Chain A
Amino acid sequence: MSVALPDAPVALARPHFRIDLLRPAAYVLAAVLVVLVVLPLAWLAYYSIVDKDGQFTLANFATLLTDKPLRKSFGIAVAMALGVGALSCAIAAPLAWLVARTDLPGRRLVRALVTASFVTPPFLGAIAWEILAAPNSGLLNVFWRQLTGAQPYDALVNIYSFGGLVFAIACYTFPYVFTLVANGLDRVPSDLEDASSILGARGWTTLRRVTLPLVLPALLAGAMIAVLQALTMFGSPAILALPAGFHVITTKIWSLFQYPPKPGLAAAASLPLLLITVLLLQGKSWVLGRKGYTVLGGKSGEPRVTRLGRWTPVGIAFALLVLSLTVLLPYAALAKAALTRNGVDGLTLHHFRFVFFEFSATRLAMWNTFLLGISTATIGTGLALLAAYLVSRRPVAGTAWIGMLATAPVAIPGIVLGVGLFLTYSHPQLMLYGTLWILLIAFLTIEMPAGYQQLSAAFHGIHPELEEASRILGASRLKTLRLVTAPLLRTSVIATWCFVFIGTIRELSATILLTTANTKLVSVIIYDLNESGDMGAISVLGIMLLVVSFAVVVLANRMPLLGGPRLPALR
């Protein structure tokens, strides 16, 4: 008995014809990554194995192995990076927990401040810390001597030391870990914690056995970025390591660009860093293993909030301590520098006047900086989202290496990368040098790892069935990514945007090779001013960056573009 069904609308019988754009998108992304990452890397590899006349040579690698100071600087750099990673986690994990999972007063402010503090270029932070903790002139030491009547040249803290360097770097890398972990904590369904406490686990046990392990992917991703950033950071070691009496690999590499330049050796010296990255990535996936990190349909949205009760003062003290060390004190030091002149008593607005009205580059540089910051953040977040999606969901065969590619740039010191990018994009046929495009490309390359790691950690928390439910209803993968996944990852997407934005604004080492007069950026200006010792102007610019970035970060978090504000399951 077959009954005709004239009333079944045609539109419903079959979804509109639609191509799956994901495959082409994957290829485009792969192509983009190849252009962004492989080109400069290939250049590096090439330069490391040819001599001046273009002949094949392994001399550079031989030097790498035999040169003792070079080897030593590698050792110190690795130790420093691991120290930074450990310290970052030690600061960031508790703070993230306080902010995401307790009733700590002012936790939203703490969150915004940490993200914004991140805008401080590390070398500026290092300078601020010199002002604060140099053994003799450091304000903290001066204050301490006044307080205790200790002898001149006695110091409470010495920023010019291995520990000081690790600390000064960790101050500006811990926000990576913090943001990742805090966002991860937002996503842990409360059911899982409830299940632990009903079995008798105290808050602390639940935290240790259930909550923290669930944010392990985020913690590892953050730690990895912190470690690699420290490994390739140039600014802070340049300022602090030498007075402390040691080299790290980046300062070594930097001196290889001095006369007589040895770009080949510099290139060769950055390749082991790449190896370290691969090892870290491998280690990470080894730790995470087969374990799952996602749960689906956990009931009841609100993550459980721990009441601090009488521990509130301890929590506040800790948050305040961290914020003081990373934001408040350094910026107080900078503010002092901005408002006073060497040897002149009293406050002055001289530096502000100079920066805003006399210094011709300021306005253009501000414009360029924010233009690039916003466009890099937007494009970069899109690319990172796609890359993280491709890697974590493996919809197209052979996407695993995309993750490797997207993480690789983090291992290359900015200056080396800058050279690579320069050579790649300054051919008569492809003349991007001198335009903002090359900077855009450079920033996309440099910021890709942080953005990618952030989002790939976030994907660990989204169950694939949520995507499948969309696809079976007829949404293509890309559409699903846009309509379902991205809104679910809202906090992470926004955080990534802010990361990239801020990273762009504070980037220096590659930028400095690629800017020209028309493409000046604030960070470069700061660096130039530093060479002429203009602390006041530097501080003014630094504070201005902080203020504007803070505003941008706050705005970005308020953007309604990804899902509504009322998201019980996500907050």
Chain B
Amino acid sequence: QAPAPYDATPQLVAAAQKEGKVVWYSATDVQVAEKLARAFEAKYPGIKVQVERSGAERIFQRVNQEYGSKIYNADVVETSDAVHFLHFKKQGWLQPAVPSDVAKFWGKDYKDPDGQFAAYRAHLSVIAYNTKLVPKEQAPKSHADLLDPKWAGKMVKAHPGYSGTIMTGTQALSQSPLGWKYFEQLGKQKIMQVQSSTEPPKKLAAGERPVMADGNEYNVFLLRESGVPIEPVYAPEGTPLVIGNAAILKNAAHPEAARLFYHFMFTKEAQQLNSDVGGLRSFHPEVKEKAGRVPLSQIKLLNSDPSKLEAETIKKKYEEYFGT
């Protein structure tokens, strides 16, 4: 059962200030995470945020390592792979807590029923193209378009074996009406494989490939906003939504500061910053998307259930179709 929601009361602030520090294991982009930390420090003077930024899988592994060795460094943890939190929860490492904003605004799909974690951020795994290399009219409009032979040898894509985002996306797409058949056909398109979901947008930007079959939406945003000619495509078949959760750890060394910071993470202020600087999607209804970004509400989303994820099968099937 979820505990009662809590606010950033003066008592909590005082207790947190007494602890003076909070350690945040984050998979968010460094620049975004650093900005968020500074914002928190500005708002609650006397509490330092120590950002331990790393890739999602690294954080997962590190928490596993540390808890396996009874080291309790982390106060708040946050990764972009929803499945990690199921694991943490199963291990009993999470401290239930429900910030008031989460209680008020978050839909039930986006928070743990037991209040142990909530969706801190989300991003999409989108199709995109380089507008300089592909005129808008000729650009692919859907997943089905990608199977057109004219894109053979011209697409880049990330690998589910290395990227949680793509793993989630692959799960979502394979469970959608497109099914595994889509991947089987896509596998014949001589696709350039990269590891991380952050890389395909960069390949587009560099002009190495004109089209990406999947990859992070927020990278596309950030690149586009810095002037790179790339454009995301929201396919009618649906675009996989990838949720990044956050949670307080049970054995946090700074429990009060953790609570305060955890609360802060879900405030409009923080969420807006995530969106503006990081290009991330937020479940906070008051967050305003930057101009030129298609709002979440206008996109057909493909949700996936992390508890049903069969990573091994997906990796195996993928290797069968794509050869790596």
B69:A426 contact, CB within 8 angstroms: yes
Asked whether B54 is an interface residue with its Cβ less than 8 Å from the other chain, the reply is: yes
* A261 interface residue (CB < 8 Å to B): yes
**Contact of A427 with B81 at beta-carbon distance under 8 Å, contacts A342-B227, A343-B226 already known:** no
Report Cα–Cα, A239/B196, bound state, in Å.
10
Interfacial residues of chain A within 475-527, with CB under 8 A of chain B in the complex = 512-513, 516-518
Bound complex: CA of A533 vs CA of B83, how far in Å?
25
Contact for A344 among B51, B153, B198, B227, CB less than 8 A: B227
A254-B162, A426-B69 known; A242 and B193 CB under 8 Å?
yes
- Considering only residues 227-280 of chain A, those with a C-beta below 8 Å from chain B are 238-239, 242-243, 245-247, 251, 254-255, 257-261
Residues A341 and B30 in contact, CB atoms below 8 Å apart = no
Q: Which of B60-68, B234-242, B258-266, B267-275 contacts A (4 or more CB under 8 A)?
A: B60-68
Q: Which of A523-559 contact B (CB under 8 A)?
A: 528-529, 531-535
B227 touches A533 (CB 8 A): no
Given A343-B228, A360-B34, A531-B55, A259 and B87 contact (CB-CB distance below 8 Å): yes
Report the separation of the CA atoms of residues A550 and B64 in the bound assembly, to the nearest whole angstrom: 39
The interface bits of chain B over 45-83 (1 if a CB of A lies within 8 angstroms of the residue's CB, else 0) are 000001111110110111011101111010000000101
**Residues 141 to 177 of chain B near chain A (Cβ within 8 Å):** 153-154, 156, 159, 161-162, 164, 167
CB distance from A384 to the nearest CB of B (A): 29
Residues of B with C-beta under 8 A to A213: none
Q: Are A342 and B205 interface neighbours, CB within 8 A?
A: yes
The answer to whether B208 and A134 touch across the interface, beta carbons within 8 angstroms, is yes
Inter-chain contacts of A534 with B (CB < 8 A): 31
Q: Are A423 and B195 in contact (CB under 8 A)?
A: no
Residues of B within 8 A of A255 (CB): 161-162, 315
In the bound complex, residues from chain A placing their C-beta under 8 Å from that of B69 are 422-423, 426-427, 433
Contact with A along B185-215 (1 / 0, CB 8 A): 0000000111110110111011111000000
Bound CA span A427–B73, Å? 13
A419 close to chain B: CB less than 8 A: yes
Q: Which A residues from 115 to 144 make CB contacts under 8 A with B?
A: 130-131, 134-138
Whether A433 and B71, one on each chain, are in contact in the complex, defined by CB atoms closer than 8 angstroms, is yes
Complex Cα distance, B312 from A533, in Å, reads 29
- B184 at interface by CB-CB < 8 Å: no
Q: Are B202 and A533 in contact, CB atoms less than 8 angstroms apart?
A: yes
Determine whether A298 belongs to the interface, using a CB cutoff of 8 Å to chain B. Answer: no
- Complex contacts, A341 vs chain B, CB 8 Å: 226-227
Contacts of A131 in B (CB 8 A): 206
Tally A-B pairs: CB < 8 A: 131
Measured in the bound complex, the distance between the Cα atoms of B194 and A535 in whole Å is 17
Question: Are B195 and A426 in contact, CB atoms less than 8 angstroms apart?
Answer: no
Q: Does A434 have its Cβ within 8 Å of any Cβ on chain B? A: yes
Most buried by A among B69, B84, B167, B312: B69
| A75 cross-chain contacts in B, Cβ below 8 A | none
Task: Give chain A nearest CB distance to B202 CB in angstroms.
Answer: 5
Chain A residues contacting B286 (CB-CB under 8 Å) are none
Taken together as a complex, chains A and B put the C-alpha atoms of A342 and B201 apart, in Å, by 12
**B161 surroundings in chain A (CB, below 8 A):** 255, 258
- Inter-chain CA distance A510–B30, complex, in Å, is 20
Could you say which residues of chain A place their CB within 8 Å of the CB of B20?
A: none
Asked if A56 is an interface residue, CB under 8 A from chain B, the answer is: no
Residues of chain B in range 252-291 having any CB-CB distance to chain A below 8 Å: none
Which A residues between 442 and 467 are near B, CB-CB below 8 angstroms? none
Q: How far is the CB of A256 from chain B (nearest CB, A)?
A: 10
Beta-carbon contact of B61 and A426 below 8 Å: no
A428 touches B208 (CB 8 A): no
Are B219 and A533 in contact, CB atoms less than 8 angstroms apart?
yes
Cβ A434 vs Cβ B58 within 8 A: no
Taking a contact as CB atoms closer than 8 A, the residue among A153, A243, A258 that contacts B153 in the complex is A153
Contact with B along A356-370 (1 / 0, CB 8 A): 000111000000000
Say if the beta carbon of B324 comes within 8 Å of chain A: yes
- Asked if B7 lies at the interface with its beta carbon under 8 angstroms from chain A, I say no
A516 touches B52 (CB 8 A): yes
Residue of A nearest to B163 (CB): A258
Minimum CB distance partner of B64 in chain A: A261
Measured CA separation A54–B68 after assembly (Å): 13
Contact B226–A529 (Cβ < 8 Å): no
The docked-state distance in angstroms from the alpha carbon of A360 to that of B30 is 10
Q: Choose from B81, B167, B208 the contact partner of A135 (Cβ within 8 Å).
A: B208
Query: Is A74's CB within 8 Å of the partner chain B?
Result: no
Chain A contacts for B233, CB-based, 8 A: none
The answer to whether B29 has its CB under 8 Å from any CB of chain A is yes
Q: CB distance A423 to B65 under 8 Å?
A: yes
> A513 touching B58 by the CB < 8 A rule?
yes
Bound CA–CA A254/B206 (angstroms): 26
Chain A residues positioned under 8 Å from B39 (CB to CB): none
Compute how far the CA of A415 lies from the CA of B203 in the bound complex, rounded to whole angstroms: 26
Q: How far is the CA of A508 from the CA of B202 in the complex (A)?
A: 22
In this complex, which of B51, B64, B201, B206 has the most chain A Cβ atoms within 10 angstroms of its Cβ?
A: B206
A513 to chain B, nearest CB (A): 7
- Indicate whether A203 reaches chain B with its CB closer than 8 angstroms: no
Known A-B contacts: A360-B34, A361-B30, A513-B62. Give 13 more (CB < 8 A): A134-B208, A135-B208, A242-B193, A243-B156, A243-B193, A258-B164, A259-B167, A341-B226, A341-B227, A342-B205, A512-B58, A531-B29, A533-B198
30 contacting pairs across A/B (C-beta < 8 A): A130-B208, A131-B206, A134-B208, A242-B193, A242-B324, A245-B193, A251-B195, A258-B57, A259-B84, A260-B311, A261-B61, A342-B227, A343-B228, A343-B229, A344-B226, A359-B34, A360-B34, A361-B30, A428-B70, A433-B66, A433-B69, A512-B54, A513-B61, A513-B65, A516-B73, A529-B30, A531-B196, A533-B198, A533-B202, A534-B31
Closest 10 CB pairs of A and B: A343-B227, A137-B208, A137-B206, A137-B207, A532-B29, A255-B161, A343-B228, A517-B50, A426-B69, A242-B193
Residues of A within 8 A of B (CB): 69, 130-131, 134-138, 153, 160, 238-239, 242-243, 245-247, 251, 254-255, 257-261, 341-344, 359-361, 419, 422-423, 426-428, 431, 433-434, 512-513, 516-518, 528-529, 531-535
**Residue positions of B touching A, CB distance < 8 A:** 23, 29-31, 34, 50-55, 57-58, 60-62, 64-66, 68-71, 73, 81, 83-84, 87, 153-154, 156, 159, 161-162, 164, 167, 192-196, 198-199, 201-203, 205-209, 219, 222-223, 226-229, 311-312, 315, 319, 323-324
